[in-house]
A and B are shown apart, each in its own frame.
Chain A
Amino acid sequence: MIRIEALRKEFDKGVVALDSIDLTFEEGSFVALLGPSGCGKTTTLNCIAGLLEPTSGSIYFDEQEVTNLPPKDRNIGMVFQSYALYPHMKVIDNIAFSLKQKGMPKAERHEKARKMAQKLQIEHLLERMPGELSGGQQQRVSMARALVKEPKVLLLDEPMSNLDARLKIEIRDEIRRIQQDLGVTSIIVTHDQEEAMAMADKIAILDNGHIQQFDTPEMLYHHPANLFVAHFMGNPPMNFIDASVSIREDGTWLQGETFAVRAPAAIAEKLAQMDGKAVVIGVRSHQLDVSLAPAPETLELKLSIVENLGKEVMVSGELGESRIRVTMPDGFAGSYEELTTLRRQGGSVYLGLQKEFNVFDKESGVNLIG
C-alpha cells in the first residue's frame, strides 16, 4: 500500500506544481495518473520515486515513511519515457544492473536477468547493445530492468508514448499481464485516457497540480466529478449543452435557448433546490435518442457534418453555442446517404435525452448529479 498525504511541490520562483495531493494506492493495484501536460502527474511520480524532494507532505510505503529516502533505498522499479537504457552495456547487463549494485555475483544476476527476459520474450536479444534494438524491444528491456529486482512499486512514466499505435496496444496488454502475474503495485503516468482506462484499476485525474477525481474508470466515465473530468474522459467526448433549471408545477425543466426538456425523476430530485441556476448538461452520445421528425421535449440539432466511420455514422452540428457530436444508434432509420442529403438541404435531427445524463454547475463546474 502506498499512501500520499498533503503532498506539495514548489519549484523555483514559487511555481506550485502540486498542491495538497492525497492518494492511497491499494497493494497490488494498477493506478494511472492522468492529465494534460503540465498538470503535475510526472512530478507526483518523481516524488514517489524520490527523484524530487517534496516541499511538504509525506509519502508512506506500507507504514514506513519514505519521504526523504534516496531512490535507491525505496525498492522501486521505474520505466522511463525514453527507456533510458545504458548505451554502453549489453542488454543482459542493463537488466542485471540493479542486481549488480546490490553486490549479487555475476552468474546469479545473469541467471535472474535471463529469467525475467524470458517472461518478456526478449531472451534472444540479451547479447545485443541497446542501440541495435527497435523501440518496442527497448521498451521490453526497460520493463525487464525495472522488474528484475522484484520492486515494491513499479513506476511507469509515459512508457508507451514513443511507440506506434499497434505496438502500443500489444505492449499495454503485456504490461497488464505481467503486472497481474507478479502482483506488483504499479503507477503509470499517461496523458492518453484510453490507455489509462484500458490498464488501470483506478485513475487519478490531475489538473493544475490538484486531484480532480480519483476513481475507477467506470465511475469516471459515467459520473465525472466536474466539467474538467467530463471534458477529459471518453471518446468521442461528452457533449455539453448550456441550460438553466426551471422548477414548475409539472416538473423540473431544463431550459435552453431553443429547447426545454423535463428532467427525469432521479435528476429532478437533485436539482430540487436550484431553481434558476445556470447549468451545463453533459450527455454522452449513447445517452441520446435520435430521430428525424420533430417531437416535444427534443433538441434540434442543425447538421453541419456527416461522417461515415465504417462501423457507424457520426453527425455533428451546432446547438446554441456548443458543438454536439452524436453517433447514430444501432437500428437508426436514416442511412448515411439520407443524412448527407439532409445536411445538404440544411436539415436537422432531433435529440431526446434518456434517463441518465449529468448536470454540472456552470459556475463551479461541479457535478450536481453524481
Chain B
Amino acid sequence: MKNDTRPRFERKKENIAVLVMILLCIPVLFIYFSFFKNAFFVGGTGAFTLDNFRFLYEPIVLGQRTVQPIGQAFTNTVIFTAISTVCEVVISCMAGYALARMEFTGKRVITFSLLSLRLFPGVLLLIGALYVLMYLGVLNTLFGVIIVAIALRLPGSTFIIRNFFTGIPRDIENSALVDGCNRMTAFFQVIIHMVKPGIASISMFAFMSAWSNYLLFNTLIFNTKTPVLATYLRVLSRNDQMIADYGVFAAMALVYMLPVLVFFFISQKQLMEGNISGGKGI
C-alpha cells in the first residue's frame, strides 16, 4: 500500500501474522475442497459431471432406496425460515423496546430471566417442548416446530436488541414526542431506524439458525411427510449399505449452503457492526 505510514517493524509483524493465518487455513480449505470436488467429478476417472445434481428435479435411486426430489424439502425450509425469522425479529424488537424504555412491574425479573434463559442450553428443553406440543395437538406439524424454534431463540435476540434500544439517546425520542409523535409512530419513524445494525444482527442469526435447524425437526417430527433440507440430507447418511454416496451428498450440501452464503455476504457489513456491540446469539 502506497499510503501505508506505519513503521517497518509493524508491517513485518503483520506479514508474519498473515503467513501464520494462511498456514492454519490450508488444512481446512483442503478438506472443503476435497469434499466438494465429489459433487462435480466422478470418483476414479475424474471426469466432470453434473449428474449428482439430478435430485434437484427428479427422484434418484441410491442402492435400494428412491430419494424424492428436493422441491418439497426446499419449500418447507423456506417457509419455516421466513416465518420464524420474521416473527423472531418483530417480537424481539417490540419486547426489547419495552424492556429498554418502559416502566412496569416485573421488568427487572424479566430482563434477568432473559439472560439466564439465554445461557440455558435449548436442547434440555426439548423433551418438555415435546409434551407441550403433544398437549396442544400440534406435534408432528411444521407449525409446532415453528413456535418452539421462535420460543427458544427469543430470549437471546430480545436481549441483544434491548441493548441497542438502551443505547439510543433519550433526547431523540423526546424530540419525536414533542414533534407530534406518540410512542407508536415515534417507534416506527425514528427509533427503528437507529437500531438497524441490531436488527441486521438478530435477523442474520435468526436466519442462519432457522435455515440449519436439524435438532427440532429430528425430535419433533416423526414422519417424512414434512421434510426440510436438514432432514432431507440425513436420508443419504442412513443408506442401507451404511455407505453414503459422497457425490450426491456434496452436491446437496452445496445447494443447502448457498442461500446462507449469499445472505451473509449481503449483510456482512451491518452484521460486523452489530456483532461488536451486540454479541452472538445462542
The answer on a CB contact under 8 Å between B179 and A101 is yes
- Interface residues of B, dominant DSSP: helix
The answer on a CB contact under 8 Å between B172 and A102 is no
CB within 8 Å for A82 and B169 given contacts A88-B193, A88-B194, A101-B185: yes
The answer on a CB contact under 8 Å between B177 and A101 is no
Q: Which of B170-205 contact A (CB under 8 A)?
A: 171-172, 174-182, 185, 190, 193-194
User: Does A135 count as interface, using CB distance less than 8 angstroms?
Assistant: no
The answer on a CB contact under 8 Å between B194 and A77 is no
Chain A residues touching B, range: 20 to 34
> Which residues of the partner chain B approach A85 to less than 8 Å between Cβ atoms?
172
Q: Which of A68-76, A193-201, A267-275 contacts B (4 or more CB under 8 A)?
A: A68-76
Q: What CA separation (Å) do A153 and B190 show in the bound complex?
A: 24
> Which residues of the partner chain A approach B181 to less than 8 Å between Cβ atoms?
72, 101
Query: Smallest Cβ distance from B270 to chain A, in angstroms?
Result: 14
User: Does A78 count as interface, using CB distance less than 8 angstroms?
Assistant: yes
Of the residues A72, A82, A98, contact of B171 by C-beta under 8 Å: A82
Determine the residue in chain B with the shortest Cβ distance to A77.
B178
CB within 8 Å for A72 and B175 given contacts A84-B169, A88-B193, A101-B185: no
The answer on a CB contact under 8 Å between A51 and B193 is no
The answer on a CB contact under 8 Å between B177 and A71 is yes
Query: Smallest Cβ distance from B171 to chain A, in angstroms?
Result: 4
Q: What CA separation (Å) do A167 and B237 show in the bound complex?
A: 73
The answer on a CB contact under 8 Å between B171 and A81 is yes
User: Does A59 count as interface, using CB distance less than 8 angstroms?
Assistant: no
Q: What CA separation (Å) do A339 and B240 show in the bound complex?
A: 108
> Which residues of the partner chain B approach A49 to less than 8 Å between Cβ atoms?
174, 178
User: Does A86 count as interface, using CB distance less than 8 angstroms?
Assistant: yes
User: Does A87 count as interface, using CB distance less than 8 angstroms?
Assistant: yes
The answer on a CB contact under 8 Å between A72 and B172 is no
Chain A residues close to B by CB (< 8 Å): 46, 49-51, 70-72, 76-78, 80-88, 97-98, 101-102, 145, 149
9 A-B residue contacts at CB 8 Å? A50-B177, A51-B174, A72-B182, A78-B174, A80-B174, A82-B171, A84-B171, A101-B180, A149-B180
